[in-house]
Amino acid sequence: MSKEQTVIDIRDLSVTFHRGRKPVKAVNGVSLSVKAGEVVALLGESGSGKSVTMRSLLRLHPKGTDIAGSMTVSGRDVMALSTRELGQLRGATVSMVFQEPRLALDPVYTIGQQIEETIMRHEKVSRQAASDRALALFQKVRIPSPERRLKNYPHEMSGGMLQRSMIAMALACNPKVLLADEPTTALDATVQIQILLLIRELQKEYGLSVIFVTHDIGVAAEVADRIAVMYAGRIVEEGRVGDIIRDPKHPYTKGLLGARVELAHGRDRLVTIPGSPPDLAAMPPGCAFAPRCGQASDICLRDVPLLKPIGETGNIACIQYA
């Protein structure tokens, strides 16, 4: 690692859910580190384990979920924290923005009350001070007529406005790390870019480390410094945004880049990746992508390729580059 301070360090994380008959291994040996002030996009399709990886950082999984490996957030070992310490970590050091702001805000309280509640949970300040801070936050995320909006209930606001409120709430206690779980997926295209720019702007201003989960490679390119591509619970390729967009190595990343709607322009059909992701409860023995890969050989079906460094900053898990 370079001299820059590593804020998030995930080593060999595996998460197994025990629901139903078979255990489901949603995350399978993921290692990821995020430096101070860096934005890392976790890219992958539904069920690739990107959200699960992120939620593990706050230990938000239901009881009976097996989490193996180690996770360090700003010097603290997340796995060793007591419930009390975990409560102090959540929201104050690490906070999270959810995909559906409409569902992530409690419908029976005003937005202002919810932000005040969050501030007062972590800092011993008066309600007046908390409500002043909430107003300042609303101005920060550029919500028009913030005084009035703070008194709105979630159903009285639009999706974009709610996501701005969510971001304001996430920043309420000056966190070091922001976890964004597809924060723009539920929004209109025009609102999406505004929210992305807002996140990027606030991230620079506050020096936040961000893990940004998305399935949209365009969004990842817009917001991230680095991209980690996940497939079936593993990271298959990782590198700087420019390198990945310009020169994707892993067949899956190539597939993702080729499957963008923007590129379909002028073509008859959208290029897709054939097949579907493997069942996480019954993973193939070799490379998880091999059954869908045009370049797969016998060894791909037999052995799981390891994530190996490629170039100066990248990593890749593909036999072709080993």
Residue from 98, 212, 252, 289 binding another protein (CB under 8 A) = 98
Site residues for another protein, 33-72, by CB under 8 A, read: 58, 60, 63
- 214 interacts with another protein by CB under 8 A: no
Q: How many helices (H) and strands (E) does the chain have?
A: 12, 12
Q: Are 183 and 166 in contact (CB under 8 A)?
A: yes
- 31 interacts with another protein by CB under 8 A: no
Query: How many of the other CB atoms lie within 10 Å of CB of 271?
Result: 12
Residue from 66, 106, 188, 303 binding another protein (CB under 8 A) = 106
The β-bridge partners of 229 are 43, 237
Instruction: Please state, in angstroms and rounded to a whole number, the distance separating the CA atoms of residues 24 and 27.
Output: 9
Identify the H or E element spanning 169. helix 159-170
Tell me the C-alpha to C-alpha distance, in Å, between residue 255 and each of 56, 187, 259, 321: 28, 25, 6, 17
- 109 interacts with another protein by CB under 8 A: yes
Question: What's the closest the beta carbon of residue 225 comes to another protein, in angstroms?
Answer: 20
Strands 234-240 and 314-316: antiparallel
- 5 interacts with another protein by CB under 8 A: no
Question: What's the closest the beta carbon of residue 96 comes to another protein, in angstroms?
Answer: 4
Query: How many of the other CB atoms lie within 10 Å of CB of 233?
Result: 28
Written as one letter, the residue type at 21 is: R
- 8 interacts with another protein by CB under 8 A: no
Residue from 68, 136, 281, 299 binding another protein (CB under 8 A) = 136
Nearer to another protein, 112 or 251 (CB): 112
Give me the phi and psi of 238, to 5 degrees please: -145, 140
Residue from 14, 31, 70, 110 binding another protein (CB under 8 A) = 110
The stretch among 13-21, 125-133, 233-241, 273-281 that binds another protein (CB under 8 A) is: 125-133
CA 117 to chain centroid, in Å, comes to: 25
The β-bridge partners of 115 are none
Tell me the C-alpha to C-alpha distance, in Å, between residue 277 and each of 24, 72, 301: 14, 30, 15
- 6 interacts with another protein by CB under 8 A: no
- 131 interacts with another protein by CB under 8 A: yes
- 112 interacts with another protein by CB under 8 A: yes
- 81 interacts with another protein by CB under 8 A: no
CB burial class (10 A; 0-12, 13-18, 19+) of residue 67? middle
The stretch among 44-52, 127-135, 235-243, 294-302 that binds another protein (CB under 8 A) is: 127-135
- 200 interacts with another protein by CB under 8 A: no
* Binding footprint of another protein on the chain (CB under 8 A): 58, 60, 63, 83, 86-92, 95-96, 98-100, 103-110, 112, 117-118, 121-122, 128, 131-133, 135-137, 139-140, 147, 150-151, 153, 155, 169-170, 174, 176, 179, 206
